[in-house]
Amino acid sequence: MKISQNGILFLLFAAFISIYPQTQGIANKPLYRDPIFDGAADPVVVWNPKVKRWWMFYTNRRANVPNLSGVAWVHGTPIGIAESADGGANWQYLENARIKLPETFGGKNATLWAPDIIRGDDGRWQMFLTVVPGIFENWQHPRSIVQLTSKNLRDWKYLQTLELSSDRVIDAGILKMADGVWRLWYNNERDRKSIYFAESRDLKNWTDRGKAIADKPGEGPKVFRWQEKYWMIVDHWKGLGVYRSSDALNWTPQADNLLFSPGNGADDQVQGQHCDVVVSGGRAFLFYFTHPGRRGENTNKDFTEQRRSSIQVAELKLKDGWLTADRDAPTFIKLLPESK
């Protein structure tokens, strides 16, 4: 029986709907823009069991504040929180995280960057946060990774400053291994911005283990387990580098970076940067940010349009054993509630 072209299209559409049921939403593009400073970056997405919604924490760069010279706009930044009631397709600004730090970190001028958040074995939330002690116009200042704890994901209490490989460390990413050991990866800026790691059995005492990968500089390491492998995604400022491992110790680089080639969607026509990955229902979703105004003849300009940033999301797929992400395909997303 010969099927018309319209018939073929109908069958393809029916198959599409069966794979992506209508209970899933199509993610906005851009997924999220911060309504206060318009500088949302470095996202991390967690399930909040108390309110039964997904929360996104992010560095809130002061992109639209006038008369800030140098890189002062990337300093003095709070950690914003956005909320999704529909499993990740739509997000609304909620508030800033209420983070209490010792005065030695700059008081009201403390710079807060790139959180990662996990739930410890005792049920308490733990945040690993980069802190710069003040507002500065250049990058030449110390950075620390501090550990905070919370019962409600809103109010955060300082626990300690991690003793790591140098006085310039940023961008913690943490994961619990199968043997119960917590492993934390970070960027050591003193060593060509290489990725280092530390370990802890109790989330209190940490031992630095040295370099994790060193083939090229990068930041924002995100490590997750999916499809029976460990994966590390690193922002190389030329898209997102991918590394694969069977033990989260020995890493093999992927040949091609994700999100290096610009997309076509709104605020997505530039490379993708610093990401989080949420594995839910067997699928993996890549949350990343972009600087939409940094393209063409405006790439090296430094006005509000170049400073502002947007959060995006794309679904990760596996092809020939490696990761792919089609940023132009509609992202059907319904992150599932988590039991823990």
β-pairing verdict for 229-235 and 240-245: antiparallel
| Residue 340 covered by a domain | no
DSSP-derived pairing of the beta strands 155-161 and 98-100: parallel
What's the pLDDT score for residue 3? 55
Which pLDDT does position 7 carry in this prediction?
52
CA distance 146 to 124: 16
**Tally of domains within the chain:** 1
For residue 338, tell me if it sits in a domain. Answer: no
| pTM recorded for the entire structure | 0.93
How many Å apart are CA 230 and CA 221, to the nearest integer? Answer: 13
306 Cβ neighbours under 8 A, 6+ residues apart: 291, 293, 294, 298, 299
Residue 58 lies in a domain: yes
The predicted pLDDT at position 214 comes to 85
Locate tokens 């509630």: which residue?
337
Average pLDDT, 10 consecutive residues per value, the chain (340 residues): 51 45 83 98 98 98 97 98 98 98 97 98 96 97 97 98 98 98 98 97 98 95 98 98 98 98 98 98 98 95 98 98 98 92
What is the residue range of 181's domain? 5-333
Q: Quick check: is 339 in a domain?
A: no
The answer to whether residues 259 and 239 touch, using CB atoms and an 8 Å cutoff, is yes
Q: What pLDDT shows up at residue 24? A: 87
Rounded-to-integer distance, Cα 255 and Cα 320, Å = 12
Report the 10 Å Cβ neighbour count for 337: 12
Q: Please check whether residue 118 lies inside any domain of the structure.
A: yes
Structure-derived torsion over alpha carbons of residues 55, 280, 219, 116, reported in degrees to the nearest 10: 40
Kindly state whether residue 146 falls inside one of the protein's structural domains.
yes
Query: What's the pLDDT score for residue 8?
Result: 53
Cβ–Cβ < 8 Å for 59, 73: no
CATH no. for residue 160? 2.115.10.20
